Amino acid sequence: MQAAFLVAATIAPLLPTLRAAYVYDDTTIIRDNTLLRGWGALGRVWAQPYWPSDGVDALGLYRPFQLALLATVWNATGGSPRAMHIYAMLLAALAVGAVWWMLRRGVGTVPAMTAAAWFAVHPLHVEPVASVANTSELVVVLCAAALVWILGSWPPSPQNAARDWRRAAAVGALAAAALFAKESGLLALPLAALTVWGWTTPTVQRTTARHFFDVNARVWMSAVVGVSVAIFARLAVLGAPVSHSSIAAQGLSGLTVTERIAAMCSLWPRIAQMLVWPTSLAPYYGPTSFPASRLVFAACGVAVVVAIFAVAVSVMSRRGDRRLLVAFGWMTLSYFPASNLLTATGQILSDRALYGMTVGAAFALAWIIDVLPPTARKVAVAACIAIAVRGAYMSARYATAWTSHKALWTRLAQVAPNENMSAKLLGMDARARGDTVVALQMLGRAFARVPQDRQIRFEYAQVLYTTGRYEAAAATLAPLLRDGDARSEAGFMSLYLDAVGRSGGPQAVIRAATPLLHAETGSVAALFLGVAYEQLELKSQADSAYVIGLKRNPADTLLAQRLAILRSHR
C-alpha cells in the first residue's frame, strides 16, 4: 500500500510531460542523434562520446550506459517521445522506491514514509525526469541503491570464495555502470558504502570502519577494476579524462580558482532554499545567481557546512548514531561533481544537479523525525505533509512548462529576466520555427549582453545571414576566426565566407580566404577562393587554389569536381 502511494505521488505531478515532444537536450541527445538508430546502437554507443559532435567531443562527456538505455527505449518504441517520458517516469518511481527502501533500513515506518513522500514530489526532480536525457541522475541513484542492497543484504563470505567473488563482481559491474551513466557515478560506491556502514538504528550492532573495509576486500578490488575499465574506456574514446577545452559556464569563465570557489560557496544559502522551499524553478541558473557580497555569503555558507558536519560527528561520538553523518555525506558528495569547486563545468546551478542532494535531505529529514519526541514528531509529520502537497502542486506546474520549447524558455525569461540564456534560447527557438523577427530581437539582446559567448554570436550571425544582413553577419562571425575550434568547423567557415562574398563580392572573398588556406578547414577556404578567382576570370589562380585545397583534403569531392570542370574548359 505504501509503495503504491509513493508511485502515484511520484507520477501524478509529472503527467503533463506525456504530451511533450522532445525538448531541450532531448532534441540533440535523442531525437536527432543518429547514433541511437537501430539495435546496433547498443554496441556503437561504447565507442562514441555522449554529446554528438563532428570531431573530438569538446564537452568531455562519455556516458555509454545512459545512451544504451535511451537506444533501447528508442528502438523498442519507434522513437516515440511519449514512450521516452513514460520510461523517465518509471525510473523516477523506481528511484523513489529505492530511497524509501534505504530509509527503512535506519528509521521507523512513519519517518521513512514521510521523508520518501517529500522526496517523491520534490519540484527539483521535474527537470531530470521531464528532460529524458538527464535521467542519468536517476540511474546513478538507482545504481547506488543496488550497491547498498548488495553490500548490506548480501553479507560477505570469506570462507566461500566463489560466492564472495560473485558478490564482488556484481559490485564492480554496478560501480562501472554508474560511471558509464554519468561522471558523478564515480561516487556511487562510496555513497553506498557510507550508507551501509552508517544508516542503521543506534541499537543495531554495527561494524567498525576497519572491519567493514577488511571483510569487503574482494569487493573493493572488483570495484577498482570496474572503475578502471570505465576510466580507460573514457580515455580511449575521448582522448583525455576531461574536456579538451574549457566548458566553463558564462559567469565562471575568466575566474581564478580562488574566485570560482568563493563564488560557488556563496550559493549555499540559495541551494538550501531550493532544497527546503523551492520557488523560482528553471532549467538553468546563470551569473545572476551569485549574490552581490560573494565573500560574505561564501563565509556564511562554509560556516554552515562546517557546523553541520561538526554536529554530525558529535552525534556519532556521543550517541553512536551515524545517520546524520550519512545524510551529510549524501548531500555533499553527490553534489560535489557538479559544484564547480574542483573544476569549472558548463552550468552554475541547475535543478538536475541537486537530485542527489535531495536524497541526502530525505535521509536528514527521516532522521530528524525519528529522533523527535512523539508530540514534536506529529507536528513535524504534519508540516512535511503540507510541504509535500505544495511540492506536488509546484511540480505539476513546472512539468507543464516542459511541454514545449517556447513554454520552457518563456518560464526561464520570467524567472531570470536578466539572464542572457533566456533571450538566447527564445531566439534559437524562434529561428528554428522560422520566426526571424523574434529571433533577431532575442538573439540581438543576448549578443549585446554577452558578445563573448561563441554560440550566441554564431546563432545571431545565422539570423543576420538569413535575413539578408550579410555585412553584419560577416562582421559578427569574424572575431571567431581567432578560435581554433571555430575554424575547424566547415559550417562556420562556409557561412563566414559566403556572407563576405555576398556583402563585398569576389575581391572581398579573396582577401578573407587567402589567410585561411592553411587553417583547420583550409579546403573550405580554397573552394571559396577558387570560385572567387573564377568569377574574376583568373583561371590559373583558381586552379592553384583548388590544388592547395585538395592537398589539405584529398577526399573533398566538391573541390575535385570544380578543378575538373575548370580544366576541361581551358
List pLDDT tens digits, range 138-172. Answer: 999 999 999 999 998 888 777 788 888 999 999 99
pLDDT digits (tens, 9 = 90+) for 496-554: 999 999 999 999 999 998 988 887 788 888 899 889 998 998 988 988 988 888 888 88
pLDDT digits (tens, 9 = 90+) for 98-108: 999 999 999 99
* Residue 570 confidence (pLDDT): 63
DSSP letter (8 states) at residue 123: G
Average pLDDT estimate for 443-456: 86
Q: Using CA atoms, how far apart are residues 544 and 206, in angstroms rounded to an integer?
A: 80
* Residue 56 confidence (pLDDT): 41
pLDDT digits (tens, 9 = 90+) for 47-63: 999 988 644 445 678 99
DSSP result, 408-441: HHHHHHHH-TT-HHHHHHHHHHHHHTT-HHHHHH
Q: Which of 294-298, 460-464, 473-477 has the lowest mean pLDDT?
A: 294-298
**Global pTM value:** 0.84
* Residue 354 confidence (pLDDT): 94
Average pLDDT, whole number, for the chain?
Answer: 89
Q: Spell out the alpha helix ranges (H) of 239-337.
A: 257-265, 268-276, 294-319, 323-335
* Residue 57 confidence (pLDDT): 44
Q: Using CA atoms, how far apart are residues 55 and 53, in angstroms rounded to an integer?
A: 6
Q: Using CA atoms, how far apart are residues 312 and 315, in angstroms rounded to an integer?
A: 5
For residue 400, the tally of other CB atoms under 10 A from its CB is 20
Average pLDDT estimate for 16-23: 92
Give the torsion sign (CA, 43, 49, 53, 55). Answer: negative
Judge contact between 164 and 217, C-beta under 8 A.
no
- Indicate whether 303 pLDDT > 70: yes
DSSP letter (8 states) at residue 152: H
- Angstrom CA distances, 297 to 415, 418, 524, stand at 22, 21, 51
Q: Which of 27-36, 295-304, 370-379 has the lowest mean pLDDT?
A: 295-304
Q: 205 pLDDT band (50/70/90 cuts)? A: low
- Indicate whether 211 pLDDT > 80: no
Residue ranges covered by each domain of the chain: 2-401, 417-568
Higher pLDDT, 292 or 184: 184
Fold classified for 417-568: 1.25.40
